[in-house]
Amino acid sequence: MINIVLFGAPGCGKGTQAQRLKEHYGIDHVSTGEVIRDQIRRGTELGRSMESYIAQGKLAPDEIVIGMIAEYVAAHKESAGCIFDGFPRTTAQAEAFDAILEEHGLKVDIMVDIHVPEEELVRRILLRGKDSGRADDASEEVIRGRLEVYRMQTAIVSDYYAAQGKYASVNGTGTMDEVFGRIATVIDGLK
C-alpha cells in the first residue's frame, strides 16, 4: 500500500491533483475537508458541530479529525494505496496518523507539498467561490484567514515528514497537467 500525503495551502490544487492521481495509480482518495462538508450537508450531529469551524476557515479539533481518519484507515487497510488530502494539518495529527497506520502495519511513503504563491491562491479560490457553494470560499477575508491558519498552524507539519526523509516539494503553478507531471515524477521515483 502506498500512502501519499498531499499537502499545501488552501487552493494549491490538492483536490484537483488527488483526482488525477487516483485515476492514474488506481488508489483511493480521502479529503478531510470533503468528509466534513458531507457531514454538514447530511445534517449529522458531527456536521453541526463542525459547521462554524469550516465557515470561519478555522481548523476543526484534532481529536475529531483524527477519529475520522482512524475510521477511514481501518475500513481501507487492504487498499492498494491512498492519497490523504488536507490531512494531517497539525503536528499532533501527524503523530496520531503514524500511530494509526502502524496499528495496521502501514506507513506514510511521502508527503508532496504543492507550492503556489499566495496571490495566485487567493485568485484561484475567489474564482472557484463564484459557484462552489463553499461557505469558506465566499469572502476574501475568510480566504486570507485560511491562508493565515495554514502559515501559523499547518506549514510546520512539513518539518515532521522532512525529518523522516519523506518530504518532496513541487511547483504548483502552470497547467494542471504540468503540476500532475511533477507529482508523478516524485511518486514514480519511490518505486
**Among 176, 181, 185, 190, which residue sits at the site for ligand AP5 (rule: CB under 6 A)?**
176
Per the CB < 8 A criterion, the answer to whether 59 and 153 are in contact is: yes
Task: Pick the stretch among 22-30, 74-82, 83-91, 156-164 that binds ligand AP5 (CB under 6 A).
Answer: 83-91
x/- letters, 43..82, toward ligand AP5 (CB under 6 A): ----------xx--xxxx----x-----------------
Q: Where are the alpha helices (DSSP H) in the chain?
A: 14-25, 32-42, 45-56, 62-75, 91-103, 118-132, 140-149, 157-162, 176-188
* Residues 9-48 as x/- pattern, contact with ligand AP5 by CB under 6 A: -xxxxxxx--------------xxx--x------------
Tell me which residues are annotated as active site: 14, 89, 128, 134, 146
The C-alpha cell of 155 is what? 506549514
| 165: exposed, middle or buried (Cβ count in 10 Å: 0-12, 13-18, 19+) | exposed
15 vs 47 by CB, closer to Mg ion: 15
Q: Which residues contact 118 (CB under 8 A, 6 or more apart)?
A: 9, 147
Q: Which of residues 88-147 bind ligand AP5 (CB under 6 A)?
A: 89, 93, 124-125, 128, 136, 146
